């Protein structure tokens, strides 16, 4: 039988942690690590500051858990694509579209990564989980590139980390800089036609690079 917490609700520890992480993602991505308030997270999740510290240890521990969950989400999306079952070019284009759409739909993720870069990845360095999670995407890209080269589809032997960076750079920049870029050049990067054009552009650019 579930126990009742301080607020009188029945406790579901896993659901409580999920609720905390959801709200904490919004809090950290909006206010940064320094500006985020655990009291605010506790209030919005109808739990207590003490309970948050019980689950995550500290404010920094909660921030790191948010980062880990954010990376776990995109890596899980990629694994669900079963790219090894697709022809190399189709697999690569599918991976690029998934990355593009993920970043477009998850500006909180982009802001969190930007914040962590401001901190020189100091918190991420403490997480073996994040390092392990991100090995998978490099292995996936490496497999696609190897199959494509062996079949004569790709003419260039490219570094999978370079390709990952090329994809990430374009997809990430559109979201991280949409306001400054949009203001300077009077262009709405959230416009549907622009989104469609850019999704195709990055896929064409990567494939053309590999075929050249």
User: Any idea which residue has 């914040």 for tokens?
Assistant: 115
Q: By the 8 A CB rule, do 33 and 115 touch? A: yes
CA gap 113, 203 in Å, rounded: 23
Per-residue pLDDT of the chain (212 residues; tens, 9 = 90+): 344 455 545 568 889 999 999 999 999 999 999 999 999 999 999 999 999 999 999 999 999 999 999 999 999 999 999 999 999 999 999 999 999 999 999 999 999 999 999 999 998 999 989 989 899 999 999 999 999 999 999 999 999 999 999 999 999 999 999 999 999 999 999 999 999 999 999 999 999 999 99
Spell out the domain ranges in the chain.
68-211
pTM above 0.85?
yes
Domain boundaries 68-211, corresponding CATH code: 1.10.357.10
- Residue 187 CA: distances (Å) to CA of 57, 78, 177, 193: 44, 30, 12, 12
Residue 173: count of CB within 10 angstroms of its CB: 14
Q: Which residues contact 45 (CB under 8 A, 6 or more apart)?
A: 16, 19, 20, 23
């Amino acid at each position: 039988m579930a126990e009742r917490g301080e607020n009188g609700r029945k406790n579901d520890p896993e659901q409580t942690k999920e609720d905390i992480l959801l709200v904490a993602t919004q809090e950290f991505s909006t206010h940064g690590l320094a500006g985020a308030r655990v009291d605010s997270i506790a209030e919005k999740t109808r739990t207590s500051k003490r309970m948050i510290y019980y689950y995550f240890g500290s404010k920094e521990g909660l921030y790191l858990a948010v980062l880990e969950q954010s990376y776990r989400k995109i890596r899980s999306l990629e694994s669900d694509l079963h790219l090894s079952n697709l022809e190399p070019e189709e697999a690569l284009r599918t991976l690029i579209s998934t990355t593009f759409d993920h970043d477009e739909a998850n500006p909180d993720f982009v802001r969190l990564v930007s914040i962590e870069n401001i901190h020189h990845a100091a918190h991420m360095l403490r997480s073996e989980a994040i390092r392990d999670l991100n090995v998978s995407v490099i292995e996936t890209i490496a497999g696609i590139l190897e199959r494509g080269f062996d079949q004569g589809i790709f003419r260039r032997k490219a570094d999978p980390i370079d390709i990952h960076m090329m994809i990430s750079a374009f997809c990430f920049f559109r979201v991280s800089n949409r306001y400054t870029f949009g203001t300077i050049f009077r262009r709405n990067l959230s416009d549907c036609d622009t989104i469609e054009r850019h999704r195709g552009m990055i896929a064409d650019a990567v494939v053309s690079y590999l075929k050249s």
